[in-house]
Amino acid sequence: MKRIRIEYFKSLDNYGTGMMGLVTVAALARRFGPQEVEFHCDFADQQALEEVRSELPAGIRLIRRPTPDQRTAGLSPLRRKAARLWSLLFENEGREFDMLIVLGGDDLSEYYSPWAPALALIRKWRASFHTRIILLGQTVGPFHRPLNRFLARHLMPRMELYTRDQPNADYLSEQFGLQPRLSADLALCDLPLQHETGSTPLSNYGLVEAEYVTVIVSGCQTGGKYYCQNSNTYITRFREIIRHLLSDRRLAGKQIVLLAHTFGSHGDEPAAIRTVAEDLSPDERQRIVTIPEKIGPTRARAILGHGLLTITGRMHAAVSTFQGGRPAIALSYSAKYEGVIGRGLGRCDLIIEANDNELWESGQIVKRVAEKTDYVLTHYEQLRHEITERVTAARRQAEETLRNL
């Protein structure tokens, strides 16, 4: 029996991470045989495990294996720090497993925590003496803190690193002398139950293929960390974006879908889309469909991939839209957008560098989204053709990576 540990697959609260986890588990289960491999994942709780199981073919063995942080969550701050230090110094997570996969995206960066990369790299370096460590589908860094830069240079060579875009591979090579293997974003692969679900979720919400625009109001703004410092301004600008879509004659009669893509600690997008919708007029709301509930990555992908286009502050909502052969306008807050969408899929023309407070305060973000929307509608069929070609090539690259594991 193979025993594979997968980290950073805590739940489906972030559909992007969930997509990458589902694709990886399903691919390895097919490779080894579902009865010949166990997947030990850091699910937040039993409910998270059951939600993941519902998105996978029957018979795959999933086991919840909490991280040190999860095990110590209920302790006092002092006892928790002591327990985490003990775990860092004396526990080795590599002894029990044939393979330890650190699931991509961009957790090995300083975007979310300046110290998390150092702790993760130390743990994985110690484990590498006992099992294979695979950093899969990653956008690593950028690192500015000297400790993170030192550890990246000296500890990561013991690990198998698959970066999901060429700019990140170049960065790691030039800055740290690493030789990562170039892959693509794992979420470009088909989800395990994607073809079984088909377009059924559309009928559940009264949607017709290509007769709606999907808008993702990213929860990354929470706390003013990304995009805009003022939450009220942020919500106001999205409301203005939606009003512009409603007034565009080329979109006459089409619905606007407000879809939550992350939940809980990843950003309260259900609250954000409710707030955006509540101040629209009754006439405007007639064309608005809100989907604040958690419907899972597979159903969300069906909605994203069958719409006319998507406007999104979540990168993997754009990936799902592209995967369906449709254009998405991506509001970027980090380098991963340029790497995965710009260079990987050749769609720099569909990215707006939106992590700029002044852009939101001045209202220029509304103008830029309007310009991109006009561009998409003007060149729609050409964009669809080009997107389909590039996604097909990137998907093959990601599938080849999973076979190589």
The answer to whether residues 338 and 167 touch, using CB atoms and an 8 Å cutoff, is yes
The yes-or-no verdict on residue 277 having pLDDT over 90 is yes
C-alpha dist (Å) from residue 122 to 46, 92, 138, 151:
28, 11, 17, 8
- Beta-strand ranges (E) seen in 13-89 are 37-41, 61-64
The yes-or-no verdict on residue 90 having pLDDT over 60 is no
Specify which residues 151 forms β-bridges with.
Answer: none
Mean pLDDT, the chain, whole residue set: 92
pLDDT at residue 70 in the model: 64
**226 Cβ contact partners less than 8 Å away, ≥ 6 residues apart:** 218, 220, 333, 355
Using 50, 70 and 90 to split pLDDT, how confident is the model at 397? very high
Domains of the chain, first to last? 2-190+397-404 (3.40.50.11930), 194-394 (3.40.50.2000)
The answer to whether residues 11 and 41 touch, using CB atoms and an 8 Å cutoff, is no
DSSP reduced 3-state for 36 = coil
What mean pLDDT comes out for the span 270-280? 93
C-alpha dist (Å) from residue 219 to 109, 204, 356:
19, 25, 16
Residue in this structure with the two tokens 């990137």, named with its chain if needed: 394
* Interval 172-231: pLDDT, tens: 999 999 999 999 999 999 999 999 987 789 999 999 999 999 999 998 887 777 899 999
This prediction's pTM: 0.91
C-alpha dist (Å) from residue 218 to 55, 227, 234:
23, 9, 10
The yes-or-no verdict on residue 85 having pLDDT over 90 is no
What mean pLDDT comes out for the span 378-382? 98
Tokens encoding 163: 């970066």
pLDDT at residue 185 in the model: 94
What mean pLDDT comes out for the span 268-274? 93
Q: Within its chain, how far is the Cα of 2 from the centroid?
A: 27
Instruction: Single out the residue of 37, 90, 86 nearest to residue 59, CA to CA.
Output: 37
pLDDT at residue 87 in the model: 63
DSSP reduced 3-state for 265 = helix
pLDDT at residue 116 in the model: 85
DSSP reduced 3-state for 405 = coil
The yes-or-no verdict on residue 160 having pLDDT over 80 is yes
CA–CA separation, 316 vs 102, rounded Å?
18
Element (H, E) at 162: strand 160-163
* Interval 97-141: pLDDT, tens: 999 999 987 788 887 788 888 988 998 999 999 999 999 999 898
Task: Report the percent of the chain where pLDDT is more than 70.
Answer: 94
The answer to whether residues 134 and 101 touch, using CB atoms and an 8 Å cutoff, is yes
The yes-or-no verdict on residue 248 having pLDDT over 60 is yes
The yes-or-no verdict on residue 244 having pLDDT over 90 is yes
The yes-or-no verdict on residue 20 having pLDDT over 60 is yes
* Interval 30-62: pLDDT, tens: 999 999 999 999 999 999 999 999 999 999 999
The yes-or-no verdict on residue 73 having pLDDT over 90 is no
C-alpha dist (Å) from residue 357 to 217, 227, 229, 349, 362:
16, 6, 6, 21, 9
pLDDT at residue 71 in the model: 60
Residue in this structure with the two tokens 């939106």, named with its chain if needed: 354
What mean pLDDT comes out for the span 365-387? 98
**117 Cβ contact partners less than 8 Å away, ≥ 6 residues apart:** 108, 109, 110, 141, 143, 148, 151, 152
